[in-house]
Every structure is written in C-alpha cells, then in structure tokens.
Amino acid sequence: MERSAADLDLGTVRAFVAVTEERYFSEAAARLGISQQAVSKRIAKLESDLGARLFARSRNGTDLTEDGRAFLHHARALVSIADQALEVLRGRRRALRVDVLDTRLASIDLIRAFHQSAEDVEIDVTTSNGLRSARGALAAGSVDAAFARVGDGLEEDLRYVPAYLEPVHLLVSRDHPLADLRKVEMERLSGSTVWMPGNHPESEWAEFYRSLSAAFDIRIDTSGPNFGWDYFVEEIGSGQRIGFVGERCRLPWHPRTVQIPIADPAPMYPWSLLFHPRNHHPVLARLIRFVVRDRRPFDPRHQWLPDFDRAAFDRAAFDRAAFDRAAFDRVSFDRASFGG
C-alpha cells in the first residue's frame, strides 16, 4: 500500500534522526529518554511504513543505507518543523478570554477580583448573548470560559462550576408606594407586573424569570424595544413601570430611581462558570479555583432558586472544603467532579 507523509509517526522519525546522529541504538535511547528496545521497535515500524531498510549494523555502530541517506534530510526537516511548532505554542502567552455577558453585571466583579489577585494574568473580556452564544464559542475555543446561568440541558461536552448567587432587587421610581421601604417582601409583589424588555425568550435569564413569575404570581412584561440600560432606568424613573435588577448591576445613575432588596425569600440569580474540558489554557484552572473558593452557599431558609439551580448549588461535589482538599495542580474534568 502506498504511504503518505501523513502516515508517518513523528516518534519513529525522531528515533531515526537520533540513531543516525548517535550511531548506536543505546546512545539514541539515552538521548530520547526511552529504552533501547523501544528505539528498535520505532525504527522497525518506520522501515515497515516506508517499505525500505534504513540502517546497516556493524561492530562500529550503525550506518545509513542508500535509502536512509535519501530520507535523512527530510527526516531532519520534519523533526525541526515539529519542534518549532511546539516551541511556538509553549512560548505563546495568550490572554485568558472570558465572556461576561455584559460588563455592567456581577460577573465582571468576579473577573476583576481574580485579576487583582493574580496580576501576572492577562485577561480579555468579551460580551455576547449569554448561553446561546457561549456554547459555540467554548466549543470552538474562541473563549476559554463564560459566566452564565446554566439552566436545564447543558451540552454533554461542556462543564461548569457554580460561581455566584446574586440577589435580585426591585427598581422603582421615587414616587412609588414601595420607594421608602428598606426591603420588599416577596409576597407584596404578588400580582404585580415587572418590566424586563431585555428578556429574550430563548435566553437563560428569561427562563429564570419565568420560573420566578410562576412561583410568586408575578407577571413579567418583556415588551420592548430594548434600547439599553439608560432607556430602561429612565423609563422606571418616570414612574410608569417597575423592574428587576441584579444587586451588583452597575446601572446608570438616575435621580428618580430607587433600588430595593427583595426578601422573604430573596430571589437569587445563579451565575456559573462554564468551560470546555479539553481547554488547557494554563490560567483556566486558577480561575476555577478562585471562583469556587469564594462562592457562598445557598441558604434555602431565606433565599429562592428554581429547582434545577437549587440542585446545582446544593450539590455535595461543590462543597468548598472538599474542593480545596482536592489535588488541583491541573483541572480535573471528570463529570463526577464538575457539573454538566
């Protein structure tokens, strides 16, 4: 059968070059850090693949046959190109690319805190459409990690760690009857209509608020258009509507709006850190450690989550003490250790 260059095993070619230059199989084995028997097997495989005898052995070592001499230049070129390629990848210091959905949201605080704790780390922050676009970006390697709510039905080839529970607050105008309260009990919102024009029907956050709506008899009005945060805050300040926002969302300042915590129970938006198990960026493991180390547990007595999110944040595999005890010099992507 005719062979092509793609059929050649680089390890056998490297062994051929080593034997040629050292002249003894034992010396080549020492240079390559393998056994002499392994070198012999590699040379035998290469000769079989090429259909040619490459060496003639004698008491003084090994000499190249005519076919061996013809192959040597190309073999050295193959090894040199492979070494150069490895050196480029090993020496490349690419920034860790992290998708945060929106730079006004709580996930940016986590990334900033991580960067401050590891100043040698370079980070590129991107924004997108949440889980809808993060799935493909993580699979393609265009981002290394993404903050999003996982929801139900994550792809088999992705993993995640629960990262942060963000309290949901109520945003009202200063003229609203609730504006002077220090907190709003959830039962007082029953029957209310909350305006959230950015809730795309296929997004993971829209699904979260649909669950919240069903659990507490709250209508979510997603009518738009969604003109962005400034327009949203201005509309709330006019007194025509009320809205939900995350506790740590950096809203544009407006003199006519008030942000009030919700309690009894406090709805919590669940942020997770998603990644691909075959992504071996050297900083990714450090980011995962940082996120898990600082995560606060879910408190079912005072907080609310949809059932799926509650299961993820309650899971024993994410117990912080157990995680800290784990050998984590390299990320373990076993499905028993991570979500997904």
Distance from C-alpha of 182 to C-alpha of 259, rounded to nearest angstrom: 9
Angle at 51 (CA atoms; ends 46, 52), nearest 5 degrees? 80
User: For position 153, what pLDDT does the model report?
Assistant: 63
How do strand 145-148 and strand 96-99 relate by DSSP bridges?
parallel
User: For position 93, what pLDDT does the model report?
Assistant: 66
Across the range 135-142, mean pLDDT stands at 88
* Burial (Cβ within 10 Å: 0-12, 13-18, ≥19) of residue 7: exposed
Domain 5-91: assigned CATH number: 1.10.10.10
Instruction: Kindly list the domain boundaries of the chain, sorted by start residue.
Output: 5-91, 96-325
Q: How far apart are the first and last CA of the chain?
A: 45
User: For position 59, what pLDDT does the model report?
Assistant: 78
How do strand 145-148 and strand 266-275 relate by DSSP bridges?
antiparallel
User: For position 7, what pLDDT does the model report?
Assistant: 75
Distance from C-alpha of 340 to C-alpha of 338, rounded to nearest angstrom: 7
Q: Where on the phi/psi map is residue 239: left (φ > 0), alpha (ψ -120 to 50), or beta?
A: left
The neighbour count for residue 227, using CB atoms within 10 Å, is 12
Closest CA to 120 of 286, 261, 315: 286
In this predicted structure, the answer to whether residue 173 has a pLDDT above a threshold of 70 is yes
Q: Are 187 and 267 in contact (CB under 8 A)?
A: no
- At 255-310, the pLDDT tens digits run 999 999 999 999 999 999 999 988 888 899 999 999 988 788 899 999 999 988 98
The neighbour count for residue 149, using CB atoms within 10 Å, is 22
Q: Are 39 and 18 in contact (CB under 8 A)?
A: yes
- From 51-60, 192-201, 225-234, 267-276, the region with the lowest mean pLDDT: 51-60
- At 37-77, the pLDDT tens digits run 999 999 999 999 999 999 998 878 899 999 999 999 999 99
In this predicted structure, the answer to whether residue 5 has a pLDDT above a threshold of 60 is no
User: For position 315, what pLDDT does the model report?
Assistant: 59
Is-above-0.85 flag for pTM? no
pLDDT band at 336 (very low <50, low <70, confident <90, very high): very low
Fold annotation for 96-325: D-Maltodextrin-Binding Protein; domain 2 (3.40.190)
| Long-range CB contacts for residues 331-338, cutoff 8 Å, separation at least 24 | 331/284, 331/285, 331/288, 333/159, 333/277, 333/278, 335/159, 338/159, 338/160, 338/161
What proportion of the chain, given as a percentage, has pLDDT over 90?
63
